[in-house]
Amino acid sequence: MRTNLIPVVLAACLAAAWLVSAGAAVAQTDSPESRLQKLGIDPSRAGIEQYLKSLAEDDLAEKTDTLIAELSDPEFKVRERAAQQLLRLAFPPLEKLEAATKSSDAETAFRAKLILTKLKSDESPVRLALRVVEAKKLDVGVPLLLKVRARAGASGIQQACLQAALAIVKKSDRAELEALTKDSNASQSAAARLLLAQLDSPTKSVLKGGKFDAVRVQPGSISGGGSNLIDGWEFTAKADLVVTQLGIYDNAADGLAAAHEVAIWDIEDSAAPVALGTVPAGQEAPLAGRFRCVPVAPATLKAGKKYAIVAHYPVGDDSTVSLTNPQGLTLEFAEHVEVHARRYSFPHKEMAFPSQRGSEARDAHIGPTFRYDEAEEKKP
């Protein structure tokens, strides 16, 4: 092992030099392809396919341990290579890198911090690769993209995988996608339904916003939430509605503290949600009023039926609003929606049916929302 007597400043300089060589300081005018090349990834269809396949391997934990150990190797070239390979893993077990940031070896700690920052940015190798797949419609295979999506922990990468898949999905993928709609992983099932919707309407983009917002908010007093909480509101659809987006409240419009699963459940059927999506942390999802929204597979809500729109709150940092203590808050619900009560359940580490109910409409916690179109009347 290298001696730990190297001054921290020198270690920081060496690690910063690696970051520049890894492409962190490349000019913003550089194309995603050139940035991938600087990271040692061939930007061709074959090169990106090979890279994505490496992300679906099962030995990332063991590989991460080996590479972190090499960050303190006596040889500079070994440390450089290990850092680049850790970056290329895209989503190694982050707890291992977090632990490495506390290493007694100054350069290991500093490199680990830089790698974590890079992995969480829009310029991470996997995001660059997915951007190229989407823009150039590189046929790397929808099954591979969905496999990578299942391995990714970050909702932003999951969404990038889905957008790339939407760009290249083809008829030959139908059988596998139909099978995936029955997957026990609700997020993968929802992704499959969205891709099937794209196949069924190839002249339309399924990544669209609805004409109507279920609720509009004039900000006022906010309510806190707990960790591992399912929270939202119950309503009746007053017409047949087609949900196209799900969203969650961002009070200050400055980004979300955590990623949130949002779902619509049929009150009479707790087996699976009618619609499901994940709103990523930060400001990645665009704002619609005070809500950050993501597209989902079009889902029809039937007139006269009761539903619950809820979000999963893994931490209590993102707020909801309600009329229990309004203080300047105004809520305006769409004409096709009649709100009844709060719907919630606690504790849950992931999305679940909201089995508990408040007593009246003013109890409704407006954190999650949806955007929708009116269903087209069927022609005789």
Cα separation, 323 vs 329, whole angstroms: 7
In this predicted structure, the answer to whether residue 266 has a pLDDT above a threshold of 90 is: yes
Record the pTM: 0.62
In this predicted structure, the answer to whether residue 150 has a pLDDT above a threshold of 90 is: no
Read off the pLDDT of each residue in 43-54 and give the average, rounded to a whole number.
93
List C-alpha distances in Å: 14 to 8, 40, 113, 256: 10, 20, 13, 34
- The pLDDT-based confidence of 281 (bands split at 50, 70, 90) is confident
Read off the pLDDT of each residue in 33-47 and give the average, rounded to a whole number.
90
In this predicted structure, the answer to whether residue 24 has a pLDDT above a threshold of 50 is: no
List Cβ neighbours of 356 (8 Å cut-off, separation of 6 or more). 343, 344, 345, 346
Kind and range of the H or E element at 20?
A: helix 8-21
In this predicted structure, the answer to whether residue 223 has a pLDDT above a threshold of 70 is: no
In this predicted structure, the answer to whether residue 153 has a pLDDT above a threshold of 70 is: no
- Contact between 304 and 286 under an 8 Å Cβ cutoff? The reply is no
* Domains of the chain by start residue, with CATH: 1-168 (no CATH), 212-374 (2.60.120.820)
In this predicted structure, the answer to whether residue 226 has a pLDDT above a threshold of 80 is: no
The letter for the amino acid at 80 is: E
- The pLDDT-based confidence of 2 (bands split at 50, 70, 90) is very low
Read off the pLDDT of each residue in 98-118 and give the average, rounded to a whole number.
87
Q: For the chain, give the mean pLDDT.
A: 83
Angle in degrees, CA 133, 297, 311, rounded to 5 = 105
Structure letter (DSSP) for residue 377 = P
List C-alpha distances in Å: 102 to 68, 111, 120, 214: 12, 11, 19, 46
List C-alpha distances in Å: 370 to 11, 38, 213: 49, 41, 6
Q: What is the model's pLDDT at position 202?
A: 64
Q: Per residue in 301-332, pLDDT tens?
A: 999 999 999 999 998 888 888 887 667 778 89
